[in-house]
């Protein structure tokens, strides 16, 4: 089969021939239909500091996908040949303290698909059955491949109730854009989105943002205070991974409000814990991965019911062999989600 492989400890990747994966008794072979490119794949492609520390070549990239089961190991009971599946990309151990307490998203032995285990930028991939998710027939393939990052957005938005609340979303990358749609679907009364990228702000408006702000052109703190009559917002959702944006968010949370943080920062962040967190008595949530599988059920309900429309976010589709074009596009930022056809 053909696959996109990180072959060397250097920038780039290759489109090469690889043997189809072998199955263990509890493994499932999946013929990939679509994969989507995540920021993590771009980090590995670009061989950033994080990738150099975390990633060991050779490895097939990709962890967001939809495909069809073509073969099952002799002990598999959860899926059958012909099922249309996606997967939780955090392959948890099931045995550690966290897994046994219902926090498998922070399993201490997690293997990441496309990082520690060969991924989905290929004709086929093999996975243990316990991470597979059978897709609702009402969800189109192009949306099914996006369920994994959509789940990140769900856990960030719904860490607490948001109906009739005012929201500031920092960062309109794909996950911030998903969050915009989710916040509107859940009845947020005011959704403000900030991003320096006008292309993405235009998508945020299609996803239902009431107001979009470009921090290169507008003072975010002043603008948010003005529109909220100096109250600030009830909820801040941080998807930018930018320290300055984080502080803008903390400045405009109304005392007693909450912030959920999914964005990942290049460096250690600075914040004014006394004024912006403690004396405002805000609640701060770190979000990682998804609740397995309760978040996947919510994802399925949001998407199969049409509560959130993902089409405005899917801006490009390429053949797998043109994966590098997709990576370059993502680096430039003139895109929403980029999908690859296997
Ligand atoms: P992305 O990089 O596509 O989006 C980030 C967006 O933030 C970009 O559109 C960028 O223009 C914008 N931005 C940059 N500076 C800004 C500023 N000062 N103010 C407002 N916006 C600014 O990323 P994504 O795929 O949408 O993911 C969102 C974030 O979540 C990333 O930081 C990613 O690393 C992180 N992430 C975390 C997890 C987790 O499990 N915690 C999982 C996936 C992604
Ligand atoms: Zn574990």
Which DSSP symbol is given to 136? P
Among 267, 286, 305, residue at a domain's last position: 286
CB 60, CB 30: distance < 8 Å: no
Count of CB atoms situated within 10 Å of the CB of 255: 10
| Proximal ligand: closest to the CA of 94 | 2
Indicate which ligand has the atom closest to the C-alpha of 102.
2
Task: Assess whether 40 carries a catalytic annotation.
Answer: yes
* Chain centroid, CA 131 distance in Å: 17
Q: Which ligand is nearest to the CA of 217?
A: 1
* Dihedral angle, C-alpha 233, 236, 241, 246, nearest 10 °: 40
The CATH number of the domain holding residue 192 is: 3.40.50.720
Ligand 1 neighbour 223 (Cβ under 6 A): no
251/200 Cα distance (integer angstroms): 24
| Alpha-helical runs (H) found in 160-293 | 174-185, 198-206, 220-227, 243-252, 273
User: Do 241 and 207 fall within a single domain?
Assistant: yes
Ligand 1 proximity of 262 Cβ (cutoff 6 Å): yes
The CATH number of whichever domain residue 54 belongs to comes to 3.90.180.10
Do 181 and 67 fall into the same domain? no
Q: Which residue has the tokens 């507008």?
A: 218
Say whether both 22 and 80 belong to one domain: yes
pTM of the model: 0.98
| CA pair distance 132, 123, nearest whole angstrom | 17
pLDDT recorded at residue 240: 98
Q: What is the pLDDT, as a whole number, of residue 1?
A: 96
Query: What pLDDT was estimated at residue 68?
Result: 98
The answer to whether residues 41 and 58 belong to one domain is yes
Which residue range forms the structural domain that includes residue 165?
153-286
236 CA from centroid of ligand 1 (Å): 14
Q: Is 228 domain-assigned?
A: yes
Q: Is the CB of 215 under 6 A from ligand 1?
A: yes
Q: Is residue 169 part of a domain?
A: yes
Q: Is residue 222 part of a domain?
A: yes
Q: Please confirm, yes or no, whether 301 is among the known catalytic residues.
A: no
245 pocket-lining for ligand 1 (C-beta < 6 Å): yes
Give the helix/strand (H/E) hosting 50. Answer: helix 49-54
Q: Is residue 103 one of the residues assigned to a domain?
A: yes
211 and 195 together in one domain: yes
Distance of alpha carbon 173 from alpha carbon 155, whole angstroms: 16
User: Does residue 209 sit within a domain?
Assistant: yes
Closest to 19 in 3D by CA, of 58, 77, 45? 58
Nearest protein CA to atom 12 of ligand 1, as residue: 171
- Centre of ligand 1 from the C-alpha of residue 242, in Å: 8
pLDDT value of position 45: 97
CA distance 46 to 24: 33
Query: Are 235 and 324 members of one domain?
Result: no
Question: CA dihedral in degrees (219, 222, 227, 229; nearest 10)?
Answer: 180
Tell me how far the alpha carbon of residue 67 lies from the centroid of ligand 2, in angstroms: 26
- In short, whether 197's Cβ falls inside 6 Å of ligand 1 is yes
Q: Within a domain: residue 21? A: yes
Gap from CA of 126 to ligand 1 centroid (Å): 29
Domain boundary among 249, 269, 286: 286
Q: What is the pLDDT along the chain (342 residues), one digit of tens a residue?
A: 999 999 999 999 999 999 999 999 999 999 999 999 999 999 999 999 999 999 999 999 999 999 999 999 999 999 999 999 999 999 999 999 999 999 999 999 999 999 999 999 999 999 999 999 999 999 999 999 999 999 999 999 999 999 999 999 999 999 999 999 999 999 999 999 999 999 999 999 999 999 999 999 999 999 999 999 999 999 999 999 999 999 999 999 999 999 999 999 999 999 999 999 999 999 999 999 999 999 999 999 999 999 999 999 999 999 999 999 999 999 999 999 999 999
Which residue, 286, 301, 331, sits at the end of a domain? 286
- The answer on 126 and 170 residing in a single domain is no
Q: Is 265 in the pocket of ligand 1 (CB under 6 A)?
A: no
Number of domain units in the chain: 2
pLDDT at 201: 98
Whether 307 is in a domain gets the answer no
Same domain flag for 54 and 135: yes
Query: Are 231 and 139 contained in the same domain?
Result: no
Same structural domain, 277 and 183:
yes
23 domain-assigned: yes
Residue to mutate (ligand 1; options 36, 37, 38, 39; most atoms within 8 A of CB): 39
Provide the 8-state DSSP code for 104. Answer: G
CA-to-CA dists, residue 45 to 14, 57, 58, 132, angstroms: 10, 11, 12, 26
Residue 140 sits in the same domain as residue 15:
yes
**Residue 86, phi-psi category: left (phi > 0), alpha (psi -120 to 50), beta (remainder):** beta
Ligand 1 contact, 114 CB (< 6 A): no
273 and 182 inside one domain: yes
The CA distance from 84 to 141, in Å, is 9
Q: How far, in Å, is the centroid of ligand 1 from the Cα of 71?
A: 37
Atom of ligand 1 nearest to the CA of 288: 40
């Amino acid at each position: 089969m053909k696959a996109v492989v990180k072959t060397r400890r250097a920038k780039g990747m290759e489109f090469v021939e690889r043997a189809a994966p072998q199955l263990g008794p509890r493994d499932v072979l999946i013929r990939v239909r679509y994969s989507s490119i995540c920021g993590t794949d771009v980090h590995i492609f670009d061989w950033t500091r994080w990738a150099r520390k975390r990633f060991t070549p050779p490895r097939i990239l990709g962890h967001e996908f939809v495909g069809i089961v073509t073969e099952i190991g002799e002990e598999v009971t959860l899926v059958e040949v012909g099922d249309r599946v996606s997967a939780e990309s955090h392959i948890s151990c099931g045995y550690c303290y966290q897994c046994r307490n219902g926090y498998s998203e922070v399993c201490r032995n997690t293997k990441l698909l496309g990082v520690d285990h060969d991924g989905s930028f290929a004709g086929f991939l093999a996975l243990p059955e316990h991470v597979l998710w059978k897709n609702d027939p009402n969800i189109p393939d192009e949306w099914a491949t996006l369920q994994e990052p959509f789940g990140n957005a769900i856990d960030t938005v719904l860490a607490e109730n948001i109906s009739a609340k005012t929201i500031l979303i920092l960062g309109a990358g794909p996950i911030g854009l998903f969050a915009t749609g989710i916040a509107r679907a859940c009845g947020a009364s005011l959704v403000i989105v900030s991003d320096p990228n006008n292309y993405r702000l235009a998508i945020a408006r299609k996803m239902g943002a009431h107001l979009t702000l470009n921090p290169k052109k507008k003072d975010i703190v002043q603008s948010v205070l003005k529109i909220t009559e100096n109250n600030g917002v009830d909820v801040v959702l941080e998807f930018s991974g930018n320290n300055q944006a984080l502080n803008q968010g903390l400045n405009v949370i109304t005392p007693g409000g909450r912030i959920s943080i999914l964005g990942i920062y290049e460096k250690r962040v600075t914040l004014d814990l006394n004024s912006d967190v403690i004396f405002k008595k805000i609640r701060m949530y770190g979000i990682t991965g998804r609740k397995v599988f309760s978040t996947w059920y919510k994802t399925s309900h949001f998407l199969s019911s049409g509560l959130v429309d993902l089409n405005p976010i899917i801006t490009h589709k390429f053949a797998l062999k043109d994966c590098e074009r997709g990576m370059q596009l993502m680096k430039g930022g003139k895109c929403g989600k980029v999908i690859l056809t296997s």
